[in-house]
Amino acid sequence: MAIIKPFRGIRPIKELADKIAALPYDVMDSDEAREMVKDNPYSFLHVDKAEIDLPKDIDPYDDRVYDKAKENLDSMIKNRFYIEDEKPNYYIYRQVMKGRSQVGLVGCASIDDYTNNIIKKHELTREDKEIDRINHVYKCEAHTGPIFLTYRENKDISNIINEWIKREPIYDFKSEDEVCHTVWIVDDENTVIKINELFKSVEYLYIADGHHRSASAVKVGHIKRAEKEDYTGEEEFNYFLSISYPDSELEVLDYNRTVKDLNGLSREEFLNKVSEIFVVTESNEPVKPKEKHTFGMYLEKQWYLLEAKEGIFNPEDPVDQLDVSILQNNLLRPILGIDDPRKSKRIKFIGGIRGLKELERRADTDMKVSFSMYATTTDDIMDIADSGKIMPPKSTWFEPKPRSGLFIHKF
C-alpha cells in the first residue's frame, strides 16, 4: 500500500509562475544556467543552482553555494514571489509537448515507503551527487524539485483527475521550449480524503526519474529524525515532494549513443564483426527503430539497420533483453571496447528529443559511429524494479520534464 499525502504548497504568485518555473538542476551545467537566467531574476535556478550568483570559479559543492540557495529561497518567499496555501492540498500538473499531454498528481511520498521498497528503484546512485542534494535540501529545509513517480493506473484516481481538470486552473503558461504548463489546486476536503484512500490500493510506486533526489530526501529525513528524538512520523520531513503519474500517461523516449572511434578497427573489420552478431542491412534513409531488438547505426555517412540474431540475449531476463543491454553486451563492450559506459570518455549519450540529425552530426564531426535505439518502455522499468534488478546506465529519457519551483514543500 502506497502513501501519498497532501501538503501546504508554497507556490509562485500567478503573475510570476512562468518566470520562476525552471528546468531541473541536473539537465544543465553552471555556465548554461548562468546564460539561462541572465535576463530573469525570478528563475528558480537561483535556488537550485545557486552558484550562478557567486564567483564563476567557486566549487558548486562549496558550503557557500548551499547558504546562497537558502538565502535566495528565503528572499523569494519574503518578497512575496510565493504564497503558501492555508491547508494541505493536492495539485494536478499537466504538461503538453508537441500535442502530447502528460498529467500527474503532485503530493508527498513517504520516506518509509522508499526504505521498505514500496517505492521501487531501478537505478544506482552516485555518492557525490547524493551529498550535493542532501546539503541543498537540508540547508533550504525544503524539497524544491519533485520526484517523478509512476504507478500502474488506477481508474478511480484517473477519473477524479480527469473531472478536476475541467475546472479553472491556477497556472496556465507556455515555457520557452514551447511546452504548455497547467496547474490545478485540489482543495476540496472530501476529494483529498478520497485520493488518500484510493492510493492505499496502489501496491507500488516506481521512480521514473529522480533517483538521486529521492535518495537524498530520504537521508535528510533520517537525519532530521535523529535530531528530533521524539518524532512521531507525522512531521513533514518524513515525506518528500513528488509527482505521481499513471503509467498510461508516460512516454519513455529513446536514449541514443555515439562513439569516438572504432577501437582500432577498419570500417570493413568493424562491419564484419558486427555482422557476426546482428543482421546488417544498408538503409537509404535514417533508421529510427520501430520494434525491440533492432537498432540504427550511422557510420561514414551511411545508415544501417541492425537486427539482433537469435541466442545473443536471454528473453526471460528483464535486464538482458533490454536493447541497451543487447547493444552494450554484444557490440559496445566486445567490439568497441566500452567496458563501463558510465566512466568511458569515448561514448556520449544523446536524448531522443535531439533527433537523428544530431547522431549524424556527431558521427560526422567529433565522433565516429552513432546508434539509434528503440525506447525502453514503462513496463520494462516496472518489471526490472519488481525483480530487484538495476537498469543499465542511460536507459531512459523522459520528456517533458516537470519544472522546478512551481511547488515547494517546506519541512
Q: What is the pTM of this model?
A: 0.89
Q: Are 286 and 294 in contact (CB under 8 A)?
A: no
221-278 pLDDT tens trace = 999 999 998 989 999 999 999 999 999 999 888 999 999 999 999 999 999 999 999 9
Distance of CA 75 to the CA centre of its chain: 28
E strand or H helix that includes residue 361:
helix 356-364
Q: Are 7 and 89 in contact (CB under 8 A)?
A: yes
Residue (of 299, 309, 246, 302) closest to 279 by Cα position:
309
151-191 pLDDT tens trace = 999 999 999 999 999 999 999 999 999 999 999 999 999 99
Beta strands at 171-174 and 252-253: parallel, antiparallel or unpaired: unpaired
For residues 375-396, give the mean pLDDT: 91
Does residue 354 register a pLDDT over 90? Answer: no
- Give the pLDDT of residue 156: 97
Domain 255-374 has CATH 3.40.1010: no
Annotate 264-289 with three-state secondary structure: CCCHHHHHHHHHHHEEEEEECCCCCC
Percent of the chain's residues with pLDDT above 90 = 89
Distance CA 144, CA 215 (A): 14
Kindly report the average pLDDT of the chain as a whole number.
95
- Give the pLDDT of residue 27: 82
CA 185, 187, 190, 196 dihedral sign is positive
Distance CA 350, CA 358 (A): 8
Give the domain ranges of the chain: 4-251+399-410, 255-374
289-328 pLDDT tens trace = 999 999 999 999 999 999 999 999 999 999 999 999 999 9
pLDDT band, residue 396 (cuts 50/70/90): confident
Cis amide leading into 393 (omega within 30): no
Q: Are 74 and 139 in contact (CB under 8 A)?
A: no
Compute how many other C-beta atoms are within 10 angstroms of the C-beta atom of residue 387.
13
- Give the pLDDT of residue 189: 96
